Structure 1
Amino acid sequence: MNRPVGRVLTLLELLQSGGVRPAAELADRLGVDIRTVRRYVDHLLDLDIPVESVRGRYGGYRLARGARLPPLMLGDDEALAVLLGLLSGRRSGLTATLGPAGETAAAKIRRVLPARLADRLDSVLESIAFTGEEPDQSDAPDATVLLTIADAVANRRPIAIAYGERTDRTVRPYAIVSHEKRWYVRALDPAIGEERTFRLDRIDAVRTLPGTFEPPADDPVRSLVEGFATAEYRHEVAVRVQGSVEQIRTRFPASVATLQPLAEEGRPGWHRLAVRAERLDWLPPTLAALDLPFEIERPTELRDLVLALAERLASRARGGA
């Protein structure tokens, strides 16, 4: 590509970032004078790309709404974000609403990706697992961190990460999981000989280390979800509930509680619900919403909270203050 054509495309990319871009700023970014910027703008207009000239103290150039969509210039991080969004939509059922448009959009982006980026994106798509919830971008990981870890997962390479107060922690990543609107990496921690879960948005830096490793054979989604349910918390709650697994899971998913059938204890149709929680105040209304017979085994504090909620509800039902 000759330099003038490359600069015209760069100008389009700058304008697509939004807002009014001063001519002096565009000239500086392109390494040309303002008169050349005007000539490049004319080139875009000749291609039916709607560029507006804005006069005044804060004037410059901006993209206007046109009769057709101008060609999009996406950076590496932007292309990754779009593809992950399309993948998430397919996993959450959104693609069924969009029809084939989501598939064709992803195909068009992948077709024009540079080979180096396409290979890394393939590593991301092959490394991600979903627990069923729709991912969110509010806690999206840094693109460089995600790409590097996905590449390490695909090639079974250890990595060093900066996580929390530890700036050089060596782990062996084997899966990336999207769970409850956050992104996690499951990894083996050789320092303690155990599997660990790390939030990707809390990893400040990552670098690939030499060597390879053999990943465990377990299901990363299941191990992550069960790990959350059995993590150490302030309260250990045990409640016997009469109902099916499906009924109980509507209010207490696997990431929150574990279930044990009590048929062998002479109570068919009952399950022991085990929850580890920092606070108990959310449990009484959740048990009430479950609308199934239950018996509290522990702690006593939970029984008191349930009784207090029942008294408040009864008082309000009678019209009391």
Structure 2
Amino acid sequence: MSRPTGRVLTLLELLQSGGTRTVAELADRLGVQGRTVRRYVDQLIDLDVPVESVRGRYGGYRLAPGYRLPPLMLSDDEALAVLLGLLAGRRAGLTTAQHTAGETAAAKIRRVLPKHLARRLDTLLESLAFTEQPGEFDTPDAEVLLTLADAVRHRRPVSVHHTDRDGRRGERTLHAYGIVAHAGRWYVTGQDARLGEDRTFRLDRITDARALPGSFEEPAGPGPAERVLAAFATAEYRHEVTLRIHGTVGQIRARLPASVANLEECAPAEAEQWRRVELRAERLDWLPAVLASLDRPFVIERPDELRDLVAALAERLASYAASGHA
């Protein structure tokens, strides 16, 4: 690539970053004189790139608002970061309903990579292993995701058509506080305007979202991520469990995170003391092993069934230890 051509592309990249750039600034960045900058601008205009001239004391050059430029210049490191990000997003389920969009984007970038970088990328992908195979994720509709994001930003009510886990469909007006990605799924959390209560919805269960007139004020308190985790911990399940565990917040949270249990944190987090823990679960059979792994004193306040399961686990472990080597 010739030096003038490289500078024209650099000028294009500077203008792509947004805002108005003065001639003096552009000349300094390109290492040329002002009249050369003007000549480079004329070359971009000849290529149908809509560069606008801004007059006045703070004038200069900018790109026409809303113009989608076909060239996208990435350094080797940037291209590699984008490709790995697309791969990680697919593995984590953090994609939209357009399943092929990430694959086609990756393919386009892959095709224009320099040969030496493409070979190194292939080597990396061949060497890369994951600890578990990706599951089947229910991904949200891209338009729903963008509509909700706009409603969050501008604090506008939004009407959503939602299907609950029992297959019941309904329409709600939501004051959306935020969008949260958690464990391979997308969620929106906010207040149900009719009920006046906080609600959390999976985005893949929302089939339509439509902005409504008006605005709302987000209440003080936890952020969207904390609200989603709290919703998980208080969801309606078959069993309600209440425990008292002696330990620090960190020790307890290591096995019972916020997405699983509510924890009384009235005392300093680093202090070891008895703390009340409440959670809800569809099944109890996983809890005895978790309590054993805590290695902290605990008391089961309810349900009695959990006490029986813990006692049975303790009896089994004692019998295994007493039996000696096989």
Query: When the two structures are superposed, what TM-score results if normalisation uses the length of structure 2?
Result: 0.53
Structure 1's unaligned 5+ residue stretches are 1-70, 73-81, 93-104, 110-134
* 2:284 alignment counterpart: 280
Tell whether 2:180 aligns with 1:180: no
What's the secondary structure of 2:255's corresponding residue?
coil
How far, CA to CA, are the matches of 1:232 and 1:214 in structure 2? 28
Evaluate the alpha carbon distance shift between residue 194 and residue 136 of structure 1 in structure 2; reply closer, same or farther with a 3 A threshold.
farther
What's the secondary structure of 1:217's corresponding residue?
coil
User: How does 1:103-114 map onto structure 2 within 5 Å?
Assistant: none
Aligned-pair CA distance for 1:211:
2.5
Contact kept? 1:136, 1:182, Cα under 8 Å: no
Deviations 1:253-300 (CA, angstroms, capped at 9, x unpaired): 01211223697xxx9622222222221111001111112222222211
**Stretch of structure 1 that moved more, 293-302 or 166-175:** 166-175
Tell whether 2:166 aligns with 1:162: no
How far, CA to CA, are the matches of 1:187 and 1:262 in structure 2? 26
Picking from 301, 312, 316, the partner of 1:308 is: 312
How far, CA to CA, are the matches of 1:251 and 1:182 in structure 2? 22
Deviations 1:167-215 (CA, angstroms, capped at 9, x unpaired): 4322222211112322111122111111211111111122222232222
Contact kept? 2:261, 2:280, Cα under 8 Å: yes
Q: Please provide the CA RMSD for this pair.
A: 3.6
Query: When the two structures are superposed, what TM-score results if normalisation uses the length of structure 1?
Result: 0.54
Aligned-pair CA distance for 1:221:
1.8
How far, CA to CA, are the matches of 1:172 and 1:83 in structure 2? 35
Tell whether 2:213 aligns with 1:214: no
Tell whether 2:180 aligns with 1:150: no
Q: How many residues align?
A: 200
Tell whether 2:201 aligns with 1:198: yes
Contact kept? 2:186, 2:203, Cα under 8 Å: yes
Picking from 233, 254, 263, the partner of 2:237 is: 233
Aligned-pair CA distance for 1:166:
3.2
User: How does 1:241-320 map onto structure 2 within 5 Å?
Assistant: 241-260=245-264, 269-319=273-323
* 2:68 alignment counterpart: none
Contact kept? 1:152, 1:208, Cα under 8 Å: yes
How far, CA to CA, are the matches of 1:280 and 1:250 in structure 2? 19
Contact kept? 1:176, 1:185, Cα under 8 Å: yes
How far, CA to CA, are the matches of 1:262 and 1:197 in structure 2? 26
Structure 2's unaligned 5+ residue stretches are 1-70, 73-81, 93-104, 110-133
How far, CA to CA, are the matches of 2:83 and 2:224 in structure 1? 22
How far, CA to CA, are the matches of 1:215 and 1:139 in structure 2? 29
Evaluate the alpha carbon distance shift between residue 136 and residue 144 of structure 1 in structure 2; reply closer, same or farther with a 3 A threshold.
farther
What's the secondary structure of 1:273's corresponding residue?
strand
How far, CA to CA, are the matches of 1:136 and 1:147 in structure 2? 24
* 2:62 alignment counterpart: none
* 1:223 alignment counterpart: 227
Aligned-pair CA distance for 1:232:
3.1
How far, CA to CA, are the matches of 1:311 and 1:195 in structure 2? 43
* 2:139 alignment counterpart: 140
Evaluate the alpha carbon distance shift between residue 170 and residue 262 of structure 1 in structure 2; reply closer, same or farther with a 3 A threshold.
closer
Aligned-pair CA distance for 1:229:
1.7
Residue type matched to 1:195 in 2? D
* 2:99 alignment counterpart: none
Residue type matched to 2:193 in 1? P
